[in-house]
Amino acid sequence: MIGRIPGARLLLTLLARVLTVLALIGTGARLLPSRFADWPFLPELVSLTPWFALVAALALVLALTTRRWLTALLALASLSAGVGWVYPFFAADHDLPKRAIVAGSSEQPLTDDDAARVMTVNVYKGRADAQAIVQAVRANRVEVLALQETTDEFVDRLNRAGIKEVLPYAKIASADHKYGNGLWSASPLGSPARDDVNSSASQMPAGTVTFGGGREVRFVCVHTTSPSPGEWGQWKRSLDELSAMKAHVHTTYVFMGDFNASYDHAPFRDFLGDRFQDAARYSGHGLTMTWPADRARTPLFTAIDHIVIDQGIQAGQLKTLPIPGSDHRGLVGSIWVGR
């Protein structure tokens, strides 16, 4: 029928070509190596990578419908690349040990075993609902909590909401004495530090938790620079500074926080290297979209909050959860450090 309507066929052909060009631009942006990552607006473009696969799929359908074979081939190439990048987030088969699952389902957190439920939330310059965060900690039996963009007033509200009853140990740091980052733990935080990363973005506090089997794990609360206009170079620099942590081979790490980068950003993948793993990708949980969570008419479209695990640590049971007042969803998961 479409073939008998020249105007409709021309319109669909044009739409197929436009969508294919958009998909190819998105695919090409994702393929660029890290040295180009701070090009203006490139970080924002790359954050949309999973959605370009949908654009390519629509372009492919239209190209096949109108028999534009070259357009169809280009759309298929872009779609194949997009599916290839997303597929590992759903295909991984790393299961947590049953002991970790049992520990995570106990009524109260068990601090003398090799499992822990962990959680990270950006509290949006202290605007998040502190009571909701404490309730989420209790409901999910969280043992280590990382919060970004805290304020003194927010921490006061968090204390009044009862955070110390469930997570009595804390390390909070702020470079500008206005907005900070913090770690809260059910177990003592050994060797607490204001900034383990020596970051130019924000102070990233850290502390060591000793698990039941005696293994020590260093938790770091991460908050890198946002890739806003004019800050692209600083954004990449802050991720490169994290990448330098791979050189600390005698410490076992878990990084949690707002990385302001998805797995599709080359500097984030450089940080992971062949040592660290993004917990969502490792566990096959799927895409943990966490931002923006405060815009009613804008869907969550990128996963910039992460739990990153070191070698020898397993992760699973990831989920996101709404936090009233924040522009991020919280990210919760389980880790297992047993050998």
Q: Has residue 4 got a pLDDT over 90? A: no
Q: Which of 285, 242, 284 is nearest to 261 (CA)?
A: 242
* Residue 312 Ramachandran class (φ > 0 left, ψ -120 to 50 alpha, else beta): left
Which pLDDT score, from 0 to 100, does residue 176 have? Answer: 85
Higher-confidence position of 4 and 122: 122
Q: What is the pLDDT of residue 17?
A: 96
Q: What is the pLDDT of residue 108?
A: 74
Residue 186: pLDDT band (50, 70, 90) is very high
pLDDT in the model for residue 298: 75
The predicted model gives 251-274 an average pLDDT of 98
Query: Are 307 and 219 in contact, with CB atoms under 8 Å apart?
Result: no
pLDDT, mean over the chain: 94
Instruction: Report the pLDDT value the prediction gives residue 299, as an integer from 0 to 100.
Output: 83
Provide mean pLDDT across the span 299-310.
Answer: 95
pLDDT at 60 (0 to 100): 97
Mean of the pLDDT values across residues 8-27? 95
181-192: buried (b, 16+ CB within 10 Å) or exposed (e) per residue? bbbbbbbebeeb
**DSSP strand pairing (277-278 vs 305-309):** antiparallel
Q: What is the pTM for the complete model shown?
A: 0.94
Task: Examine the pLDDT at 142 and tell me if it is beyond 50.
Answer: yes
pLDDT range class, residue 2, cuts 50, 70, 90? low
pLDDT at 5 over 60: no
* Angle, helices 69-86/49-65, rounded to nearest 10 degrees: 150
For CA atoms 158, 163, 165, 170, give the dihedral sign. Answer: negative
| Least-confidence region, from 5-14, 204-213, 275-284, 298-307 | 5-14
Can you give the pLDDT at residue 111?
81
What pLDDT sits at residue 222? 98
Considering just the CA atoms, what is the radius of gyration of the chain in Å?
22
Q: How far apart are CA 282 and CA 199, in angstroms?
A: 26
Identify the band that residue 310 occupies on the pLDDT scale cut at 50, 70 and 90: very high
Confidence of residue 1 (pLDDT cuts 50, 70, 90): very low
- Predicted pLDDT at 213: 85
Has residue 80 got a pLDDT over 90?
yes
Confidence of residue 9 (pLDDT cuts 50, 70, 90): confident
How many CB atoms are located within 10 Å of the residue 167 CB?
Answer: 23
- The residues near 52 (Cβ < 8 Å, ≥ 6 apart) are 22, 23, 26, 27, 30, 78, 82
302: three-class secondary structure by DSSP: strand
Confidence of residue 99 (pLDDT cuts 50, 70, 90): confident
Bridge-based pairing state of the strands 115-122 and 144-150: parallel
Percentage of the chain with pLDDT > 70? 97
- Token pair, residue 292, equals 């923006």
